Structure 1
């Protein structure tokens, strides 16, 4: 039998009830290799529709669900850190509340973890919020050395696709708030701490791209988060001084270009992955 693992999934008031239900079902009931436990973290109060959807999927789940409710919204990093502490298994898979896992996702990732890797992500299909049409395929970099090199400028993993060893996350200091880039900050620290990492090029997650997705990646708030991230990476010496200057210049400028330019630049230069088809 495969090694048991936990599924860690946060939900908050901004999530759509229908999207959440699809994300949950695709990552639990539809999987050929199901998690042994789901940890569902509710980050603050939610509306009636989402609350009803949460109650329904918990009641109907084919695997046990640990539901952890945080009274006030604390943000993604703190919610995930709280949820990680409630995972019963050493291997943990992540999922967001608005994406879709393809049926073979965990069956493909689990053997990689069982083979000794600490963190494994996958490729993704981007699909439109309104109708479900696939608009892009993200193919990540593969191989530990290439991922480590690539991570000095890009987030080499797409957070909703990852599966990892809880001990490797804890050795790196766990989830820590850092503007809007807590996932990149965690993965960089894991690599820096010696974690063995890999990506599957195969797209195993459907990533929802809604209206305004690229607009939200620009502006002063994103710029401040970017600068905070680059300073943090430099502080732990994950990046060199030259890499820091390059990143601040290139990634920082990306936050202020027009949205149509940002869309192309994000897919080609910034997104966690190597190429987009």
Structure 2
């Protein structure tokens, strides 16, 4: 009878909260749990020997759902969690830390998901990061990009992507697996790896239902110790040893093994680069603090001519000369990515000019996706060997150099690729070497500087970049005659034969197309949208691209976010529907999106950066804003939007002028002829 009553009174959920010296934040954490919309839970708090007022604060709450257990001595978080598993009475165990805040509907939504999906072992939630004062500081990117069970399983071999205090798991599962007390840190990541290796379903609600606090006293900060990569390697290595001992190896374990090897190589390389950096800056310790640290890519370039690197390159070159394949075109392109982006679109356009030659294209870094792969001509050979090229350095540079050098009259062309510039010193003199610089100030101009004398030609897309290079050469005492090798070839875009008439509407459509990279400052577009709504300016904001967390949460309701669009027809239709293209970047070359917009009669309203003012003339075919304080930029955006909304005749005039300018300037045939002259004629 007693057992029956205990079963009947057992709660659905046990919220397990370890507590150790958490007096500063524990009250907020407690109230966030006690204020949940679901009430069928117990809050199991296990104090692990706190010496502050934490226990007293918990005792202030007169709530029957709270169970406070005290360890007789400090056991550590892992042993405390395992004790909590034994004491938990709920069917589900939800984790919670004493410094975080759960949103009111978190437990209800997780419990409902587990009820509806009996095959699911554990469900997590996304988190919003906050500082010790409770101020929102953004999102955890690995958390946000793994919102499904499939994406979590793909990502876990690389790193953790689940916030431990945001999970809810079936007690029957957690009782079987428990936390590994030999894993002093990252015991949660070890648990996820063991569950995933056994094929258990782990998923995540794509909602930020937990506010995760980041501060120096947190368990995560202390366990990382400034070296999260080393913690990752240790955790995965111990996991693999366990699986080997248990003879439970499978495909998932192999992926963890590969990722661990990659992480180990990365950690060793980073340590070596640090040593090289110190050596390059000054052998005198007293002077190092006064010498700026070198950028990581520039440090690799400096390392590239060291004796150990040259030895490994020589071995690679011997391998490259005997590879049983060849490139009949002798034309090699090296680009970092094949994902969606303005530079990537230009790279595909350049290769398309040589489709008949069937060139080979190598992608040298990990792409976010492969959606722009389809833009490259089908005749070209596309090779996404980025892990071998990146992590196989310097052997990979040697193999590629030996392979290229054995061809007759080879031509190499690269853009934005560190691998390409590492390759140049090991190519024979008769290889024609050309690069494309999209903009000055994007790092490529810096890490390419040590090998600029090896380039036969440098392509820039606007005259301002050429002027910037000339200044850089003078500042760094580079041979001034090398500026004569810089060639201006402006990008191309397809322009309709006739002006695309705009559909009359009471509301003007403002379009943003781009990535959520920091230099794009997408949050300024969101602020402008919110201000337009507050000032009752009839505008509609449409944002296209992978924005990530670039847009502030409070501005989302005033923007229509479309995500990435790779279908040219669909993107062209958005341009036709738009009245204004907005650019808020702090640096640019001359963005391809401006050319695409002008070709459809869309008026650019942009910060005056890079080479934009060479084509956009203020008040004639667009509006330019001084690249000053962010508040001033937003105010100017709103002012121009109101002006163009009130004066539709001015908007029509600017629209027509933008189209006429694009029709006269952005010619496809001129683009291809210039590149053919540079590459094929050479």
The 3 A distance-change label for structure 1 pair 18 and 254 is farther
Partner of 1:135: 137
Contact 1:140–1:201 (CA under 8 A) maintained in structure 2:
no
Partner of 2:166: 161
2:58 matched to 1:54? yes
Alignment partners' CA distance in 1, 2:55 and 2:208? 31
TM-score (norm 2): 0.34
The 3 A distance-change label for structure 1 pair 50 and 254 is farther
> Alpha-carbon deviation of 1:249?
3.4
Map 1:62-211; keep pairs closer than 5 Å: 63-115=64-116, 116=118, 117-130=120-133, 132-138=134-140, 139-171=144-176, 173-177=177-181, 178-211=183-216
Contact 1:43–1:74 (CA under 8 A) maintained in structure 2:
yes
The 3 A distance-change label for structure 1 pair 248 and 114 is farther
Give the structure with the larger strand fraction. Answer: 1
**1:181-233 alpha-carbon deviations (Å, 9 max, x no partner):** 1010111112222321110121001111225779743447x666434312123
Partner of 1:38: 43
Alignment partners' CA distance in 1, 2:206 and 2:267? 24
Alignment partners' CA distance in 2, 1:56 and 1:73? 23
TM-score (norm 1): 0.80
Larger Rg: 2
Aligned with 2:125: secondary structure? Answer: strand
Alignment partners' CA distance in 2, 1:253 and 1:204? 38
Uncovered stretches (5+) of structure 2, i.e. residues with no partner: 1-10, 244-248, 275-292, 297-547, 551-682
Q: Which runs of 4+ in 1 moved over 3 A?
A: 211-216, 222-227, 249-258
> Alpha-carbon deviation of 1:4?
1.5
Alignment partners' CA distance in 2, 1:161 and 1:34? 18
CA RMSD of aligned residues (A): 2.8
Partner of 1:270: none
Q: Give the number of equivalent residue pairs.
A: 250
Give the structure with the larger helix fraction. Answer: 2
Contact 1:5–1:36 (CA under 8 A) maintained in structure 2:
yes
Q: Which has the higher contact order (CA 8 A, sep 6+)?
A: 1
**1:132-184 alpha-carbon deviations (Å, 9 max, x no partner):** 2211023251222221111111113100100000111233x201121211010
Contact 2:45–2:66 (CA under 8 A) maintained in structure 1:
yes
Contact 1:121–1:200 (CA under 8 A) maintained in structure 2:
yes
